[in-house]
């Protein structure tokens, strides 16, 4: 009656037949082999991914080293340019001093020429009066 009401099921109990036991073992063994193969395949993919990550890391490390080298070279070049600019400013200041000194000399010579012109005019006037 309980079986008919579907509230309980028959318990097959332990396997008694050797063929059934062997068949169950073979089935389990096949399933395990399939799972092991899947795990191995997954492991191979993971190892390949890890190797790709390692290669990428090595490439990035090399690029960072190249960037660091270029940055150092750039910094050195900037220092040279900065020094050149400072030297140009110093030379400009010296040239401006030279220009100022030449202007003073020119002004002085101009004054001397004007005085000499005045003296010449006076001498010419005296010569013309004496004639």
Contacts of 10 (CB under 8 A, 6+ apart): 3
Mean pLDDT of 61-80: 97
Structural domain boundaries in the chain: 20-121
Mean pLDDT of 11-40: 82
Q: What is the pLDDT of residue 69?
A: 97
* d(C-alpha 105, C-alpha 101), whole Å: 6
Q: What is the pLDDT of residue 11?
A: 60
- Scored b (16 or more CB within 10 A) or e, 91-100 reads eeeeeeeeee
Q: What is the pLDDT of residue 17?
A: 76
What is the share, in percent, of the chain residues with pLDDT greater than 70?
87
What is the share, in percent, of the chain residues with pLDDT greater than 90?
72
Judge whether 21 and 15 are in contact, CB under 8 Å: yes
Q: What is the pLDDT of residue 6?
A: 57
The per-residue pLDDT for range 93-129, each reduced to its tens digit, is: 999 999 999 999 999 999 999 999 999 999 998 888 8
Q: What is the CA radius of gyration of the chain?
A: 53
* d(C-alpha 104, C-alpha 57), whole Å: 69
* d(C-alpha 104, C-alpha 44), whole Å: 89
Q: Is the pLDDT of residue 15 over 60?
A: no
Q: And the tokens for 18?
A: 């050797």
* d(C-alpha 12, C-alpha 121), whole Å: 149
Please give the backbone phi and psi of residue 10, each rounded to the nearest 5 degrees, phi first: -75, 135
Q: Is the pLDDT of residue 5 over 90?
A: no
Mean pLDDT of 73-93: 98
The per-residue pLDDT for range 51-67, each reduced to its tens digit, is: 999 999 999 999 999 99
User: Could you tell me the end-to-end alpha-carbon distance of the chain, in angstroms, rounded to an integer?
Assistant: 172
Q: What is the pTM of this model?
A: 0.48
Judge whether 10 and 3 are in contact, CB under 8 Å: yes
């Amino acid at each position: 009656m309980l079986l008919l009401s579907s509230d309980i099921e028959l318990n097959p109990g332990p396997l008694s037949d050797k063929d059934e036991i062997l068949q169950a073992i073979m089935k389990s063994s096949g399933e395990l082999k399939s799972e092991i193969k899947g795990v191995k395949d997954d492991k191979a993919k993971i190892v390949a991914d890890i190797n790709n990550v390692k290669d990428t890391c090595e490439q990035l490390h090399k690029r960072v080293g190249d960037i660091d080298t270029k940055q150092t070279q750039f910094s050195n070049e900037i220092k040279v340019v900065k020094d050149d600019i400072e030297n140009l400013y110093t030379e400009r200041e010296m040239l401006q001093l030279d220009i100022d000194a030449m202007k003073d000399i020119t002004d002085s010579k101009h004054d001397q020429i004007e005085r000499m012109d005045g003296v010449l005019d006076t001498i010419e006037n005296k010569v013309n009066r004496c004639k």
